[in-house]
Amino acid sequence: MTYIHDTIVKLQKTSPAQAEFYQAVEEVLDSLQPILETNEKYKLHSIIERMVEPERQIMFRVPWVDDQGKVQVNKGYRIEFNSALGPYKGGLRFHPSVNAGIIKFLGFEQIFKNALTGLPIGGGKGGANFDPKGKSDGEIMRFCQSFINELYRHIGPTTDVPAGDIGVGAREIGYMFGQYKRLTGNYDGVFTGKSLLWGGSLVRKEATGYGCVYFAQYMLADKGDSLAGKQCLVSGAGNVAIYTIEKLYELGARPVTCSDSSGTLYHEAGIDLATLKELKEVRKARLSEYLAAHPDARFIPVTDYPADGHAVWRIPAQLAFPCATQNELTEADAQALVANGVIAVSEGANMPSTQDAVEVFLDAKICYGPGKAANAGGVATSQLEMAQNASMQRWSFEEVDEKLKVIMKNIYLSASTTAAEFGEPHNLVLGANIAGFRKVADAMIEQGVV
């Protein structure tokens, strides 16, 4: 524990005010204790000290002109964390909360997530403190073009391949790709999450949500159980949440909640997926408008949330899928879920449960799929998009979905067998972290001190 403590203290000095980053590092290092204690080579090669420091941190200003002719300035980031297994791979997030600590936490998580897929991709992340909400298409285009005016020189199909994340969908990817193509003269697979018209992959939009549900399916199957007939809680109302809900229905479960920044929607009969897609994918409206079509549903505004957590996790159910954002599920939420009979939690977002909440799940010995394993379907399908671009092919929806199922099964097996190897078969946090770490660390050792 002294080693972990010293590492965190050093990070706090060299990378100040990055609480989410410290949290992510501490969670991983806690899990690595068993392997660090029994394998001196990782200390000899200073793997931890090297792994917690990004290979490259790019920070830049992003000036752009709004519709009133006023120059606005945002801050852009790209953290190229680790390339031991392949080119840097990870999304771009456009949100007012973005700062260096958020991007570093996401990039650090991405190293292990990408390693777990078994695919040849390293870890990176990026974004800007730009809020696309309320902006016109012209403003978003001008921002994206300015963002790429700096970033283009750091990315490429065999160097660093960004994708979407919160605030970055096919529209934003399109504007960035267009500017990249204009600046470089290259038409290559430098972005994933592209439109199907020009190099995108089928299933990419659905992949994170689908993969999160597949992971839950494999966890339950190992216990002789299934998704069929289970009542499910889902947070969020973006791509991950919507397609988690879609796949839950396909596999016989009943999702009854979703949420956005204004509140939580609870529909005991089951969320109407068509209405949800209309609200969020077409009209970009608030969830509260769902009640116009379904007056039997209930909307809980954020002002009515419990002081110690989120309303969505206080509703009785058997399964929970946190699909919104980091640290959305508190210790009190976790205690409520366990008390209400939840038997499995599968994380669709990145680090959505606080460390105290994770401890509640592990102590209760319920099925718990940490985000770096359970939500890896998105980046896995991004790599499948890269493969299609490189070979100039287009695979069918069924082909990509089948490959996604296999990848998620392999991720589950890798995490669960590693957890069992270290004497904690129920602890997929330990299993996922050690399995991902070993792949990256061994590759780093083989490639020398770089």
Could you tell me if 231 and 302 lie in one domain?
yes
Q: Which helix (H) or strand (E) holds 302?
A: none
**Residue 259 in domain:** yes
Question: Encoding tokens for residue 303?
Answer: 């002002």
Coil/strand/helix, residue 236? coil
Q: What is the average per-residue pLDDT within 424-438?
A: 97
**Residue 424 in domain:** no
Could you tell me if 161 and 220 lie in one domain?
no
Q: What is the average per-residue pLDDT within 81-109?
A: 97
Q: Is the pLDDT of residue 5 over 90?
A: no
pLDDT at 99: 97
Could you tell me if 117 and 220 lie in one domain?
no
Coil/strand/helix, residue 371? helix
Cα 76 to chain centroid, rounded = 19
Could you tell me if 352 and 227 lie in one domain?
yes
**Residue 310 in domain:** yes
Residue that terminates a domain, selected from 374, 396, 422: 374
8 A C-beta contact, residue 410 and residue 418: no
160: nearest Cα among 93, 87, 228, 109:
87
Residue that terminates a domain, selected from 374, 402, 431: 374
Q: Is the pLDDT of residue 1 over 80?
A: no
**Residue 431 in domain:** no
Q: In whole angstroms, what is the distance from residue 74 CA to residue 133 CA? A: 15
Q: In whole angstroms, what is the distance from residue 332 CA to residue 309 CA? A: 6
Residue pLDDT, tens place only, 318-375: 999 999 999 999 999 999 999 999 999 999 999 999 999 999 999 999 999 999 999 9
Could you tell me if 218 and 357 lie in one domain?
yes
16 contacts: CB under 8 Å, gap ≥ 6:
none
Could you tell me if 148 and 226 lie in one domain?
no
- At residue 438 the predicted structure's pLDDT band, cuts being 50, 70 and 90, is very high
**Residue 25 in domain:** no
Could you tell me if 73 and 171 lie in one domain?
yes
pLDDT at 4: 81
Residue pLDDT, tens place only, 391-419: 999 999 999 999 999 999 999 999 999 99
Structural domains of the chain, count: 2
Could you tell me if 64 and 137 lie in one domain?
yes
Question: Encoding tokens for residue 10?
Answer: 């050093």
Mean pLDDT of the chain: 97
Could you tell me if 222 and 364 lie in one domain?
yes
Q: Is the pLDDT of residue 2 over 90?
A: no
CATH code: domain of residue 276: 3.40.50.720
- At residue 149 the predicted structure's pLDDT band, cuts being 50, 70 and 90, is very high
Residue that terminates a domain, selected from 159, 187, 215: 187
163: nearest Cα among 76, 70, 90:
90
Q: Is the pLDDT of residue 86 over 80?
A: yes
**Residue 137 in domain:** yes
Could you tell me if 248 and 305 lie in one domain?
yes
**Residue 347 in domain:** yes
Tell me the chain's radius of gyration from C-alpha atoms. 21
CATH code: domain of residue 146: 3.40.50.10860
Catalytic residues: 125
Could you tell me if 244 and 323 lie in one domain?
yes
- Domain span at residue 227 reads 207-374
Q: In whole angstroms, what is the distance from residue 315 CA to residue 396 CA? A: 38
Q: What is the average per-residue pLDDT within 58-71?
A: 98
**Residue 86 in domain:** yes
Q: In whole angstroms, what is the distance from residue 112 CA to residue 443 CA? A: 13
8 A C-beta contact, residue 71 and residue 65: yes
Q: In whole angstroms, what is the distance from residue 33 CA to residue 49 CA? A: 15
Phi, psi at 32, each rounded to 5°: -85, -5
